[in-house]
Every structure is written in C-alpha cells, then in structure tokens.
Amino acid sequence: MSIAMPAPRAELVSGLDAPLTVLRADGSREASGLLDPHLADMDETALTDLFIDMSIVRRVDQEAFALTRQGKLALWPPLLGQEAAQVGSARALRDTDFVFGSYREHALAILRGTGFGGFLGVWEGHAFSGWDPHAHHVATPQIIIGAQTLHATGYAMATRMDGADDVAVAYFGDGATSEGDVNEAMVFASAFRVPVIFFCQNNHYAISEPVRVQSGTPLALRPTGFGIPALRVDGNDVLAVHAATRIAIERARSGGGPTFIEAVTYRMGPHTTTDDPTRYRRDDEVAAWREKDPIVRLERHLDRIGARTDRIREEAQVRCDATARELRDAVMTAEAPDPVTMFDHVYTEPTARLERQRAEHLAFAASIEGDA
Amino acid sequence: MSIAMPAPRAELVSGLDAPLTVLRADGSREASGLLDPHLADMDETALTDLFIDMSIVRRVDQEAFALTRQGKLALWPPLLGQEAAQVGSARALRDTDFVFGSYREHALAILRGTGFGGFLGVWEGHAFSGWDPHAHHVATPQIIIGAQTLHATGYAMATRMDGADDVAVAYFGDGATSEGDVNEAMVFASAFRVPVIFFCQNNHYAISEPVRVQSGTPLALRPTGFGIPALRVDGNDVLAVHAATRIAIERARSGGGPTFIEAVTYRMGPHTTTDDPTRYRRDDEVAAWREKDPIVRLERHLDRIGARTDRIREEAQVRCDATARELRDAVMTAEAPDPVTMFDHVYTEPTARLERQRAEHLAFAASIEGDA
Amino acid sequence: MTTSELALGAAIGRALGDALESDEKVVLMGEDIGRLGGVFRVTDGLQARFGKNRVIDSPLAESAIVGTAVGMAYRGYRPVVEIQFDGFVYPAFDQIVAQVARLHYRTQGRVRMPITVRVPYGGDIGSVEHHSESPESYFAHTPGLRVVTASSPQEAYSTMRAAIASDDPVMFFEPKSRYWAKGDVDTDLTRDLDTAAVLTTGRDVTVATYGPVVKTALEAAIAASDEGIELEVIDLRAISPLDVDTVAASVERTGRLVVAHEAPAEASVASELIASVVERSFPALRAAPERVTGYDTPYPPSALEGAYLPSLDRILDAVDRTLGRRSSRTGLEYAGGAR
Amino acid sequence: MTTSELALGAAIGRALGDALESDEKVVLMGEDIGRLGGVFRVTDGLQARFGKNRVIDSPLAESAIVGTAVGMAYRGYRPVVEIQFDGFVYPAFDQIVAQVARLHYRTQGRVRMPITVRVPYGGDIGSVEHHSESPESYFAHTPGLRVVTASSPQEAYSTMRAAIASDDPVMFFEPKSRYWAKGDVDTDLTRDLDTAAVLTTGRDVTVATYGPVVKTALEAAIAASDEGIELEVIDLRAISPLDVDTVAASVERTGRLVVAHEAPAEASVASELIASVVERSFPALRAAPERVTGYDTPYPPSALEGAYLPSLDRILDAVDRTLGRRSSRTGLEYAGGAR
Ligand SMILES: Cc1ncc(C[n+]2csc(CCOP(=O)(O)OP(=O)(O)O)c2C)c(N)n1
Ligand SMILES: Cc1ncc(C[n+]2csc(CCOP(=O)(O)OP(=O)(O)O)c2C)c(N)n1
Ligand SMILES: [Mg+2]
Ligand SMILES: [Mg+2]
C-alpha cells in the first residue's frame, strides 16, 4: 500500500525506541541529554531518600498483602515492581500539586502522609475513601478505570482560572488508555492547554490482558495524536521517572500545557490478591523483570557511587519496621463502622426520605436485637 | 522546555502541511505522487459522472432546504459545500461496502438509491429511519455524535470473521473527533486491525464551534496516536477524495487495517435550518470558501480537458430536474403515520405490556373521537 | 423592585448571569453556550459579559464536560454544565452516576460536588430523534443526586439559583417546550430543592406532575371544574427526592391520585410516587392511583408525539377512572378503578 | 440424559458453550473473558475451545464493547458481551439505551439487535466499591430492552440460551453472589423471557423477587410457615417487561404483596411492580404493598452491606406489616399497613 504505517518519531515523543534510562540494571549511570540536566541536584542524600521511600512503599505493600492472606484486609492490589514509577514521580511534585490516582497508587498516600487508618479502611471494606483529599492534595482512590483523568484535567483547568501554578497529575494504567474518558481528557487538556500530567504506568497487564490487546503501538504514541508530547521512560529507573516528571512539571507550571509520561514497568504480583496470574503469564517473563528490580537497581547505584549502603539499608530497615508496626496497629485497632453510618453523606444535608429510611433501619435493628 | 511539541510528520500522515490536492480551484491538475496512481482510470466519462452526481446531490439539498422553509419538512441539515467529500468517497466504494453515516451524509442515501419517500420521512418527523439498511448497505442515520464509528468498527470486525473483504466506512464530523466513542473506535480498529475507514468531514464547524475548539492540531494527526495512518485531503476536490478513499479501501480489503481520512471542507450553509450562522462566523470566511466550490472546480476542469461542458451541464440539469420532481412528489404525497404505529417494533414480538398500552391508546383515541 | 416579565428560558439565563455575578466560583461550560448563546439562546450574552474563562465553549464530549466539572469542583468551583439536549446525557452517565452523585458519599463528606447539570428536556417541539426525551427517572433512581425541574419563569429563576447555591449536585431539567412561556420573575424570591407546591386546591382528585405537564394539568383542572370536579394540582418541582409528604397529605383529603409526566411509565418517577403514596396513605385511597405518562416505547417520531404525550384529555380520562366515572377504559378488562 | 449438577456460574458457562457450538453466529466478547476465563471463570475454557475469533478478549472500553457488538449484529452476528461488574456498565450506557435498545424501533424492524449483555450483579460478596451494584432498574426503564436474571443453575442455563436465541437485545443480570450455588441442570429444558414462576404457593402474602434474593425469600417462606403464615414466593425471572399478570393473579388471592430486590427503592423495579399491581388489582389489596430493597444510598462499604441488603428478617418484617402484625415499624408514624 502506498501509505506507510506511523513510524515512531523522535520529534513527537522521546524514548519510543527504547525507554529513556539513566540507571542501568547493574546500577551504573547512562548519560541522557534530555534527563540529566534535571538530575543535577540529585546527590547521595537525595538518592538515599528515594531508596528509603521505595523501601517503605514496598514494605507497606508486603504487609498489606500479608494481612489480606490473614483475612484482615478483604482485598489488596499490590504495587510490587512499580515503586520507582510511583515514588520517582510523586517526589517530583510539590505538596500543592494535586494527584488523582486509581486504586494501585498506594505510594501517593504513603508519601503524602495520609495515615494508615483511613487508607487501609478502604481495603478492609470499612470505607470507600481513606483520607481528606483536600488536606493532602490526593484525590480519593478511583476504581472506574480512567475516570480520574477527567477530574485531573478539570482540576488543572481550575488552577488556571485561579491564576495559580499548581499542577494536576492523573495516574492510570496501560489498560486505561483504551477508555473513552482518558482520550476525552487528552482532548480537553490539549484544547485548553492545561497544566496536567498524564502519568501512565504501563505495567504490561490489565488484569489478564497483555498490553498488546490494548494497542499494537507504544502507548506513548497516543498523546501525540492529540498534540500532547510524550516521554517514554524506564519505569523501574527511579531517576529517569523523576527527571521526566520534573520536565513535565516545569512545562505545566510555566504554561506549556499537558505532558504524557509512559513509565514502562511491570506488575510483579497478581492484579489483586484474588487474581491468579499463572493462568495468563509465564514464570520466565516474571523472572526477567525481577532482574530489573527498581530498588535493587538504586541500591547498586548507591554502592557504585560509594555510599554507605549498609548504613542506608539499616536505616531503611528501621523505618520500614516502624512503618509496619504503625500499619498493623492501625489494622488491628480498626473497627467496622456502625451500619447506620451508611445513611451519612449521601447529601450534604439529610433529606426527609433518608431520615425515614434511617429511622426504619434503626427500628428494625432494635427489633432484631429485641428478639435475640 | 526540553521536549518539543509534536511536529507534523510526513511519515505519519500525508497532507498535514497542506491537504492533498489534485484539482486546483481554477480547475487545473496538480501532480500528486500519492494520489495520481489511483486516478488513472478517471476519464471524461468518469469525471462527468462525478459532476452529475454532485449536481444531483446539491439539488436534492437545495430542494429539501426549500421544503423546510415552506414548512413541508421539519428540519434539514444541509450538506452544501460538502458534495465532493461525500460523492468522491461514496463512489470509491463497492455496493457491499457498508457505510455508517451521521445525519448530514445525504449523498450516501441518494447515490445508493434509497428513494426519497423514506429518506425524507426522517425530516418530516414521520420516521427515524428512511430505508432498509440491509438492502442498501447504508446504516440508518445517526444523531448521537460519534456512536456510528463503533458500529462501523464492529461491522468490519464481523466482515473479518466472515472471511469477506467488505469494508465498513464511518462518516463523522470534526466535532465528533472529541467524543470518547470515536477514540474507542480507533482503539478497537487498531487493536484488531479491521477493515474500516474513518472518514472525517472537517467542515470547520460543530454547530457554532470552530474546529480549533476541538483541537489545536490537525485532526489527521489524531489517528496516528492509535497507530492508524491518515490521509488529509482537500475535501472540495472530488478527485483527491476519490483517490484517498480508493487507497484506504485497498488497504482495508487487502488486510492492511484501518485508515483515517480527513476531508478538509466547509459547511457553506447553517448547521440546520434552525441555525443562524451569522452569530458565529463572518461573511468573508464564507465568501472565501465559496471560491473553492467543489462543483465549479470540477466543471472548470472538464472545461480545461476539452469536455463538452455545455452538454454535460444540460444533462445534469435534466437529471436534477427529474430528481427534484421525484423528491417533491415524495414529500407531497407523504402521509403522517397513524399514531398507533408508535407501538410497533419496540420488540421483535409484541409484549403483554405494550399490547395493553396499545389497547389503552386505541380505546382512548376512540373515546375522544366519540366525544367529538 | 426586581420583578420583570421574562420567558422561562430567559429567566434561566438571568439566573445564570446573576449567579456568575454574585459568586466568582460559578463557571458555565457546554457545547455552543458561548458565542452562540446555546442552541436555545439561554446563555445568550453571558460569554460577552463574563469572558471565555467563565463561560466556556467546550469540545464535543459530554463525559468530559461533566468529568472536568468534577475536577473543578475538587478545587472549589461551582460548575454549571449544559447537556445540549436530553438525549445526549447518556455519554455522561458514568461521570454523573458514578462520580458526581457519589463523591460526597465516597469521601465521607470531605469532597463536595456543587455541580449543576442543565438538561433541556421533554417533547412537543416537533424535533428529531433524541431531542424530546425525558430521562429524569434514571437520575431519580440514583442516590446522591437532586433532580429538579421548573414549570414557570419564576420557578425556573429561583430554582436555578438554589441549584447553583446547593452544595449537592443537581440535575436541572429545563422544560424546553416551555422556554418561550412568559411570566413575572421576582429575583428576590427564593426556593428550596425539596418541596412541592400545591397550585390549586380541590377536594376530588390529586394530580401530581412537574415541568411541562404542569400547564396541561392546570388546564385539566379548569376543564374538570366545568363538570363540578375539583382537582388539586401539585407541581412536584423536586423530582428526587420527592416531596411525598405534600402529595400524601393531599391524597389523605382527596383519596385519589393521578401522576403525570412525559417519561415512559416503567420504573419511573410516576411508579415511585404511586408506590410511596400507597405505602404512606393506603387507608385513605379510594381508588387505584393512575399514571398518565409517555408509553413504554422510545419517544416516537414527532408526527406521532401528540398521541404519546400526556394530554389534557388523557389526564381527564385518568381522573374519571379514579372517580369511577365512564372513561376510555370502561369495557377494557381493568380491575382497578374506584371502590 | 442431559442433566448434571452445576454451579450457577458454570451453568452459564455451559449455556455459552452450547450456544457457541450450535450457532456459528454467536460470538463472545469482553475484558479478560479469554485466556483468564473471566474474573469469575464463567467463560473458562471457551477460548481454548472456540478460538480467539469467537471468544474475544477486548480492549478495556465498555462503550466500544457494546458499540462494536452493534456493528456485528448489523452483519448478522449474535454477540454476547460481558461487562465485568455491574458498576462498570455505565460507560456503555449510551450505546445500550440509545443504540442497542432502539435500533429495531429506529429502523422500523429492519435491523435486529440480538445482543446479550451479560452483567454479573448484586452484592454480598464482600467486595470493593462498584462491585456490588444492582443497576437493573435503569434498564427496566428503557423501552426496547429485555432485562432478565436467574435464581438457580437451571434457570441460568435455560434463560441464557433463550436470551442468546432472542432477536431482541437482552440485559442478562447474573447474580454473582449465587455463582457458586449448585443445582441440577437439564440442558433440554427451555425457558422464555416473559414469565415469572410461582415457587411456593401460599394464601397469605405474595413475595415477588428475583435473582439473588429468591433464596432469601424461600428461606423466609420456611420461617413464616413456622408461624403458620403462608408466603407465595414468585421468582419474577423477567425484570422487564415484568410478568404483572402472574403477580396480580397471586395478589388477587393473597391480598398482600412484598417486593424485594437489592437495588435502591426509588424509581425502581419494586416501585414499578407495586404501581402496576395497584393499577391492576387495587380492589383485592388488603394492605399496602411493601418494598424490601437496598436503601436510597450508594451501595455502602462491604462491612455495612449486611444491613443494606434485603435479609430474611427484613422480608419477614415486611410480611408482618402487610398482615397488620407487630413489626419493627409499629410505633413509627406510618399510615400504611393493613386495613
Ligand atoms: C470502567 C471499568 N471497567 C472495568 C474495570 C475492571 N478492572 C479493574 S482493574 C482492570 C484492569 C486495569 O488495567 P490497567 O489500567 O492497566 O491498570 P493496572 O490494574 O494494571 O494498574 C479492570 C479491567 C473497572 N474497574 N472499571
Ligand atoms: C452526543 C451528542 N452530543 C451533542 C449533540 C448535538 N449536536 C448535534 S450536531 C453537533 C455538532 C456536530 O459537529 P460535527 O461533528 O463537526 O458534524 P457536522 O454537524 O459539522 O457535520 C452537536 C453538538 C449530538 N447530536 N450528540
Ligand atoms: Mg496495567
Ligand atoms: Mg463539523
């Protein structure tokens, strides 16, 4: 045929041929003309912080996973393997940048200090939301795939109306890119040139579906069709992610409009604790990605630059253990809410209809208790 | 900022800098390495046919417009100015290729001989659908913007299941490109590599909104983000449209997958007969586009190649007049359906509930008549 | 004095303008609402007055219109978004029922969604498919939304102001066939989003309706009075939650109820009102409550809409049934009717 | 002999497999239905058996799943599409209510939409938000759709075969809390999509319900019989159009009606059934019909779902009310109840 299929173009998107990387799997540094300038201040202390952050995030994930197996949590969607993507991006934001995640971005809640009580309540079935979004600038978890990308875009429209330079960040997965909402979000973001970052964690699976079911071309190509530039980065390289997010943040803050980041990573665990990934993927694929572990990689790098990794590991361990204790305390002391609270907050003021239903419920509950 | 905005790339999409053209406004031919090979058989007879087709389509449009003003039709969305886009593409298809239009693609119905009775019944308020889609391989008109792009994509998936080489064509407007459905259609078309053509008539307006409200970049860039190649053509150049559609058809039929065509044209009339375009666009803009009239352009070209344009015009006139008579007859003899038909076809078999409502309606109607 | 004569559509425009004027967090967004002033000219002149940042022509995508409004509400705005016609609200359904309606609940009251979704609705305007629908029952079935409409310019003005001022999300269904109906509007009059209004008192039959059908019901009341029958016409105003108290109180007096709306009958607002009144006031009922609604078909082509819509005669026919008088159904095998 | 013991989910899988086997125009599409066999394993093994062209793992986009099914139906296919969970049906709402439901009507019967939309629905599985909803009332309000569910493996098998064979579009709500309930399935037994089934006959109170609540209602019948009260339990099976005849005939005998479902009450299937029965059988009613439904709140967090869902005790409580016996509401200011 006389017209060519789209060819990846460096002008449209960076990292299409190979995801942008600065840390190799062995911990050595790779030069990147694009990313390096944004990493100049990343000294040993900064790297140590990222290492500890990732370690804590992983530990929380492991603890929650274990609590699910023990029946303390009803469900858990693990982030194992995605620590660099989440921590690297989250740490490039300032506190007043508002993040809109899905259900797997636990790192956002952890790093922004939302506390475990509420945060884990969602997975205990006690609540739908774990924290005050306004207090932490983190939206409540979103389960409807892609819906939050529109919220982030609208939020970013609003920051512009305010004349503020806050940025909104939408986190979503590879599967989400197929939803109409995500594409409409790019239409609006591009049309209004709003300060939003579309942060796609391509962890290679939407439940059982490999990313090729969603797209035959790299996901980072998608936004270019909307006039939105994209950065495709090694999602297991915390520095690459960090630098890419800084670039996008700078663009957004200075009126440059939206940026799309595809962080190429891998979901090491099951989709959730009820999933059985052996039904749809091979062990050797998982093993290959284990080699690319984001935390090990940064640790090797710290080693290479002569940092005292034994001490850093030790400190991380202490912090992780403390966090784990805090987490388990929160879960162990959590109590299921009184059923009558199900009538709260449907509206900002009680309505006659719900007051009646609440009264019915209470009378019924009392009558049952009376019988017993 | 350190990453560039997407730059139009010839490899991704043809015609981005300037829409592909083969007929200049003055009727002279422009060479096109891409399109010319697909026009080799377009001799004087073929060109004459296109001229007559476009003339008839325009005449039908004018007649319907006039009938609306006379109160015979309730509404009419005129296609004036878009004759080349519609005729040029429709004439590149074979009869068994299935077309899914919106509400403005009257040419599809006219050229496929659906007849005026039913076709105009939609605009008289007598029916929602004017013909048997299966008989003509033309879907019923679609008012929900963009919905039909998914239907075309699904139809094309089905032709592949059949092992057939029929192609589905989705027609839609510039405004439609913002809808989630249109983008999801591209996701599916690309993922399953189906024989569908996305034919976008960019007539520069979605009611009052100029196309820049939808997109800051050319619409033909959009599909490239989905891995779908695009052709951007001068939509007022019937030959360019024809050739582009032939290219897309060949790709589709031979298993090459979807193609997106942006036909850059202009809606010369109001959005519908109830619209007042003077509220949102300037006369000089309209005047400039009048210079690019698709029918005049082909006529000039026929002149240039030494065709007997006086005779052609004459023949066109005769055909147009006959068509106009047929059309007016159809409208004048049309009768509003009996209200009781509103209960028909809700389901393929009558249901008890609707039988009861039908009986109620009839009893009520009879009682009213009894009173009167 | 703040009273002037306005058409219902213009009264809504006035309410929008006054809201934009009095609260800088109010923004309008929708298709064609800016330069064009909306396909019904309801927002005419507002973009010129308040600028493109507060009266926003959006791309053609309903889910995004509502979804970005959610984001704006997250940042303290009070977006008023327009869905151009009733039939185009469905692409936004997910954002409305799963996001707008639930974020306050989901966040235990921490995030408010003071969003108003304007939906011109209803038939009788001779239009094409998808332009004459009454989808309000879908939203009435959705916890977390307030669903309201208006039957006069005054109601439209005051209810729109209340909707925009509400911290709850409000679906505002604008009766488009009544856009051109004129009436006095006092911009100082306030309204709540909870209560129905008894428009005519009458001892025989309660007729509860809303939006465009209120006018028909009032005409029916006049026609009925010629035969010595008194109708108590109630303008529900709030479609959800319904003001069942007011209707039940009326039925306690009349013992008879007719509910009318343009939407189809099945699992509708009329079904709900009847079920609620039966629950509340069963002993008072002297006849089976009656529904006068659109039939359970898609809204038909406009040439047929006259027969589809609740008409004065259909309402009177239902009134007759509740009174055990001869009606069109006499002879049909119905077991209902008066006892 | 074609009878075997199957769980309800497996019975649906068997129906899908048998339909794929017997009609080459049947295709399945949805998220994760292929290699994984669906998140509930309902389609387990079908892709291996029928290939990737007939059991299609689709991209993650519900509107496209339904919208492309429309295109396939245009070309003579009978697509069976899966929406992974109840709460994810809303992005497909426009394609379902404005396309699937209407194309037959729109084209005056020329284009058929023999599409089955499978929706695992309902609560009581301890899951997270959006995974426990009962959105069937939205579709019951939509003319042109058939809405069905099933309460046992046999019903599930036979109704699914009927749904796929129907030339009308069918929303098939699969009671996911019952997926693991076992029962005998005779693959030769056929079912229609129109009729309710009387499961227990009883003279005192008619209890009409469907899907997951049928089991609870049957348990209530047993509990009631201990107190000498006879319940006539009706499995509605068809949610829309409802088989009002069967329910009304029962109410003509019992004079009392309780309607139960998990969905919220307002403008729901329960509202509809009560309004319809009141219209049909008002003189026979000896007490106000009662609803036992989800409350008019979003489906709550799972720790609270026990109190939200219609339970055996809530059904018995409603039965008591219709009988004028002491109930939890005795003392509350309700005017309903027996007369
Ligand atoms: C609208 C919608 N459809 C379907 C689902 C069910 N579902 C939950 S997660 C998921 C896969 C999401 O994949 P991806 O976007 O890649 O995110 P990941 O889980 O890999 O982080 C699906 C299909 C949902 N939550 N929402
Ligand atoms: C889902 C939906 N939203 C809104 C509308 C109202 N509407 C009808 S035509 C139109 C503009 C369409 O513009 P475009 O896609 O460019 O097609 P054109 O009319 O120019 O042919 C709009 C907004 C609609 N029909 N459907
Ligand atoms: Mg993923
Ligand atoms: Mg246009």
User: A264-306, pLDDT tens digit by residue?
Assistant: 999 999 999 999 999 999 999 999 999 999 999 999 999 999 9
Judgement on whether residues D179 and D207 belong to the same structural domain of the protein: no
- Please state the rounded mean pLDDT for residues D294-301: 98
End-to-end CA gap in chain D:
52
Q: Return the closest-CA partner of residue C120 out of C178, C163, C65.
A: C178
- Please state the rounded mean pLDDT for residues B197-210: 98
Judgement on whether residues A243 and A357 belong to the same structural domain of the protein: no
In chain D, % of residues over pLDDT 70? 97
Q: Answer whether C33's CB lies under 8 Å from C59's CB.
A: no
Judgement on whether residues A37 and A136 belong to the same structural domain of the protein: yes
Judgement on whether residues A310 and A369 belong to the same structural domain of the protein: no
- What mean pLDDT value characterizes chain B? 95
Cα–chain-centroid distance for residue C97? 18
- For residue A178, the distance in angstroms to the closest alpha carbon of chain D comes to 5
Cβ contacts of B36 on chain A, cutoff 8 Å: none
If you write DSSP's letter for every residue of A154-223 in order, what string do you get? HHHHHHHHHT----EEEEEETGGGGSHHHHHHHHHHHHHT-SEEEEEEE-SEETTEEHHHH-SS-GGGGG
The predicted pLDDT at position A13 comes to 82
Please report whether residue A167 resides in a domain.
Answer: yes
Of the three residues D186, D217, D237, the one that is the final residue of a domain is: D186
Judgement on whether residues A102 and A187 belong to the same structural domain of the protein: yes
Please report whether residue D50 resides in a domain.
Answer: yes
Q: Return the closest-CA partner of residue B53 out of B245, B326, B294, B233.
A: B294
- State the burial class of residue B255 (Cβ atoms within 10 Å of its Cβ: 0-12, 13-18, 19+): exposed
User: Would you state the structure tokens that stand for residue D87, as one six-digit string?
Assistant: 């709460």
| Angstrom distance (rounded) from CA C47 to CA C30 | 12
| Angstrom distance (rounded) from CA C95 to CA B294 | 42
Cβ contacts of B206 on chain C, cutoff 8 Å: 31-32, 60
pLDDT band at B11 (very low <50, low <70, confident <90, very high): low
Q: Answer whether C282's CB lies under 8 Å from B329's CB.
A: no
Q: Which domain holds residue A364?
A: 338-372
The predicted pLDDT at position D1 comes to 54
| Angstrom distance (rounded) from CA B166 to CA B93 | 10
How many CB atoms are closer than 10 A to CB D286? 16
Bond before A195 cis per omega within 30 degrees: no
Q: What is the CATH number of the domain that holds D270?
A: 3.40.50.920
Burial C117-151 (b: 16+ CB within 10 A, else e): bbbbbbbbbebbbbbbbbbbbbbbbbbbbbbbbbb
Structural domains of chain A, count: 2
Extended strands (E) in chain A: 13-14, 98-100, 168-173, 196-202, 205-206, 209-210, 230-234, 259-264
Which of the 8 DSSP states describes residue C298?
Answer: P
| Angstrom distance (rounded) from CA C317 to CA C306 | 16
- For residue C169, the distance in angstroms to the closest alpha carbon of chain B comes to 23
**H helices, E strands: number in chain D:** 12, 14
Q: Answer whether C107's CB lies under 8 Å from A129's CB.
A: yes
Q: Answer whether C198's CB lies under 8 Å from C28's CB.
A: no
End-to-end CA gap in chain C:
52
Judgement on whether residues A172 and A255 belong to the same structural domain of the protein: yes
Closest ligand 1 atom to the C-alpha of A179?
1
Judgement on whether residues D115 and D87 belong to the same structural domain of the protein: yes
Q: What is the CATH number of the domain that holds D43?
A: 3.40.50.970
Judgement on whether residues D173 and D317 belong to the same structural domain of the protein: no
Query: C303 and B179 in contact by Cβ < 8 A?
Result: no
Cα–Cα–Cα angle for A83, A84, A85, nearest 5°? 95
- State the burial class of residue B46 (Cβ atoms within 10 Å of its Cβ: 0-12, 13-18, 19+): middle
Q: Which domain holds residue D300?
A: 197-322
The predicted pLDDT at position A5 comes to 43
Q: Is B187 in the pocket of ligand 2 (CB under 6 A)?
A: no
Alpha helix locations (H) across B144-281? Answer: 147-162, 180-192, 211-214, 238-253
| Distances B215 to A153, B206, B262, C27 between C-alpha atoms, Å | 15, 12, 13, 22
Judgement on whether residues C137 and C215 belong to the same structural domain of the protein: no
- State the burial class of residue A283 (Cβ atoms within 10 Å of its Cβ: 0-12, 13-18, 19+): exposed
The predicted pLDDT at position A372 comes to 57
| Angstrom distance (rounded) from CA A11 to CA B221 | 14
Continuous segment of H or E residues that includes residue C34: none
Please report whether residue A3 resides in a domain.
Answer: no
pLDDT band at D107 (very low <50, low <70, confident <90, very high): very high
Q: Best interface-test mutation with D: which of C236, C261, C273, C282 has the largest number of D CBs within 10 A?
A: C282
| Angstrom distance (rounded) from CA D220 to CA D218 | 5
Strands B209-210 and B205-206: antiparallel
- Amino acid (one-letter) located at A346: V
Q: Does B157 touch chain A (CB under 8 A)?
A: no
Please report whether residue C336 resides in a domain.
Answer: no
Please report whether residue B2 resides in a domain.
Answer: no
The length of chain B is: 372
pLDDT tens digits for D28-71?
Answer: 999 999 999 999 999 999 999 999 999 999 999 999 999 999 99
The predicted pLDDT at position A365 comes to 96
The predicted pLDDT at position A201 comes to 98
Bond before D59 cis per omega within 30 degrees: no
Which of A145, A183, A271 to mutate to test ligand 1, by most ligand atoms within 8 A of the CB atom? A145
Residue with tokens 């009257």: B106
Please report whether residue C237 resides in a domain.
Answer: yes
Which of the 8 DSSP states describes residue D89?
Answer: S
Structural domains of chain C, count: 2
Please report whether residue C332 resides in a domain.
Answer: no
Which of the 8 DSSP states describes residue A349?
Answer: S
- Amino acid (one-letter) located at B138: V
Please report whether residue B5 resides in a domain.
Answer: no
Q: Return the closest-CA partner of residue B223 out of B4, B16, B17.
A: B16
Judgement on whether residues D55 and D153 belong to the same structural domain of the protein: yes
The length of chain A is: 372
Judgement on whether residues D164 and D26 belong to the same structural domain of the protein: yes
| Angstrom distance (rounded) from CA A154 to CA C70 | 7
Judgement on whether residues C160 and C233 belong to the same structural domain of the protein: no
Which range among A130-134, B6-10, D110-114 shows the weakest confidence by mean pLDDT?
A: B6-10
Of the three residues D165, D186, D207, the one that is the final residue of a domain is: D186
Judgement on whether residues A313 and A352 belong to the same structural domain of the protein: no
Whether the CA torsion A244, A250, A251, A257 is positive or negative: it is positive
> Is the pLDDT assigned to residue B5 strictly greater than 60?
no
Predicted-complex ipTM score: 0.97
Please report whether residue A2 resides in a domain.
Answer: no
Give ion ligand 3 contacts, CB < 5 A.
A 173-174, 203, 206
| Angstrom distance (rounded) from CA A55 to CA A51 | 6
Query: C334 and D279 in contact by Cβ < 8 A?
Result: yes
Please report whether residue C328 resides in a domain.
Answer: no
Judgement on whether residues A266 and A182 belong to the same structural domain of the protein: yes
If you write DSSP's letter for every residue of A213-251 in order, what string do you get? HH-SS-GGGGGGGGT--EEEEETT-HHHHHHHHHHHHHH
Q: Answer whether B200's CB lies under 8 Å from A225's CB.
A: no
Nearest CA in chain D to A345: D297
Please report whether residue B1 resides in a domain.
Answer: no
Extended strands (E) in D204-256: 205-209, 231-235, 238-240
> Is the pLDDT assigned to residue B124 strictly greater than 80?
yes
- Please state the rounded mean pLDDT for residues B185-206: 98
Judgement on whether residues A331 and A344 belong to the same structural domain of the protein: no
Judgement on whether residues D181 and D206 belong to the same structural domain of the protein: no
Judgement on whether residues A228 and A371 belong to the same structural domain of the protein: no
Judgement on whether residues B308 and B226 belong to the same structural domain of the protein: yes
Judgement on whether residues B205 and B344 belong to the same structural domain of the protein: no
pLDDT tens digits for B222-244?
Answer: 999 999 999 999 999 999 999 99
Residue by residue, pLDDT tens for chain C (339 residues) are 578 999 999 999 999 999 999 999 999 999 999 999 999 999 999 999 999 999 999 999 999 999 999 999 999 999 999 999 999 999 999 999 999 999 999 999 999 999 999 999 999 999 999 999 999 999 999 999 999 999 999 999 999 999 999 999 999 999 999 999 999 999 999 999 999 999 999 999 999 999 999 999 999 999 999 999 999 999 999 999 999 999 999 999 999 999 999 999 999 999 999 999 999 999 999 999 999 999 999 999 999 999 999 999 999 999 999 999 999 988 675 545 444
| Angstrom distance (rounded) from CA A276 to CA A257 | 40
- Please state the rounded mean pLDDT for residues A36-51: 98
Please report whether residue C140 resides in a domain.
Answer: yes
Cα–chain-centroid distance for residue C150? 6
A206 alpha carbon – ligand 3 mean position (Å): 4
> Is the pLDDT assigned to residue A33 strictly greater than 60?
yes
| Angstrom distance (rounded) from CA A112 to CA A100 | 13
The length of chain C is: 339
pLDDT tens digits for A303-352?
Answer: 999 999 999 999 999 999 999 999 999 999 999 999 999 999 999 999 99
- State the burial class of residue C331 (Cβ atoms within 10 Å of its Cβ: 0-12, 13-18, 19+): exposed
Q: Is B267 in the pocket of ligand 2 (CB under 6 A)?
A: yes
Please report whether residue D338 resides in a domain.
Answer: no
Judgement on whether residues D132 and D106 belong to the same structural domain of the protein: yes
C104, C130, C131, C141: the catalytic one is C131
> Is the pLDDT assigned to residue B54 strictly greater than 90?
yes
Closest ligand 2 atom to the C-alpha of B201?
21
The predicted pLDDT at position A371 comes to 67
pLDDT tens digits for D240-282?
Answer: 999 999 999 999 999 999 999 999 999 999 999 999 999 999 9
The predicted pLDDT at position A2 comes to 41
Judgement on whether residues D77 and D167 belong to the same structural domain of the protein: yes
Residues in a beta bridge with B133: none
Judgement on whether residues A293 and A360 belong to the same structural domain of the protein: no
The answer to whether residue A280 is catalytic is yes
Q: Return the closest-CA partner of residue C280 out of C247, C312, C324, C320.
A: C247
- Please state the rounded mean pLDDT for residues B201-214: 98
The predicted pLDDT at position B331 comes to 93
> Is the pLDDT assigned to residue B7 strictly greater than 60?
no
> Is the pLDDT assigned to residue B372 strictly greater than 80?
no
Which of the 8 DSSP states describes residue D171?
Answer: E
Q: What is the CATH number of the domain that holds B17?
A: 3.40.50.970
| Angstrom distance (rounded) from CA D327 to CA D224 | 14
Judgement on whether residues C30 and C168 belong to the same structural domain of the protein: yes
Of the three residues D167, D186, D205, the one that is the final residue of a domain is: D186
Please report whether residue A4 resides in a domain.
Answer: no
User: Would you state the structure tokens that stand for residue C113, as one six-digit string?
Assistant: 């969604």
- Amino acid (one-letter) located at D156: A
The predicted pLDDT at position D334 comes to 57
Please report whether residue C191 resides in a domain.
Answer: no
Query: D331 and A209 in contact by Cβ < 8 A?
Result: no
pLDDT tens digits for A89-132?
Answer: 999 999 999 999 999 999 999 999 999 988 899 999 999 998 99
Cα–chain-centroid distance for residue D21? 25
- Please state the rounded mean pLDDT for residues B75-97: 98
Please report whether residue B46 resides in a domain.
Answer: yes
- Please state the rounded mean pLDDT for residues B178-186: 98
Nearest CA in chain B to C128: B125
| Angstrom distance (rounded) from CA A27 to CA A294 | 10
Judgement on whether residues D73 and D149 belong to the same structural domain of the protein: yes
Nearest CA in chain C to B357: C295
Burial A330-358 (b: 16+ CB within 10 A, else e): bbeebeebebebbbbbbbeeebebbebbb
- What mean pLDDT value characterizes chain A? 95
Q: Return the closest-CA partner of residue B86 out of B65, B55, B117, B64.
A: B55
User: Would you state the structure tokens that stand for residue A259, as one six-digit string?
Assistant: 């940026």
Cα–chain-centroid distance for residue B336? 27
| Angstrom distance (rounded) from CA D213 to CA D235 | 9
Strands A209-210 and A205-206: antiparallel
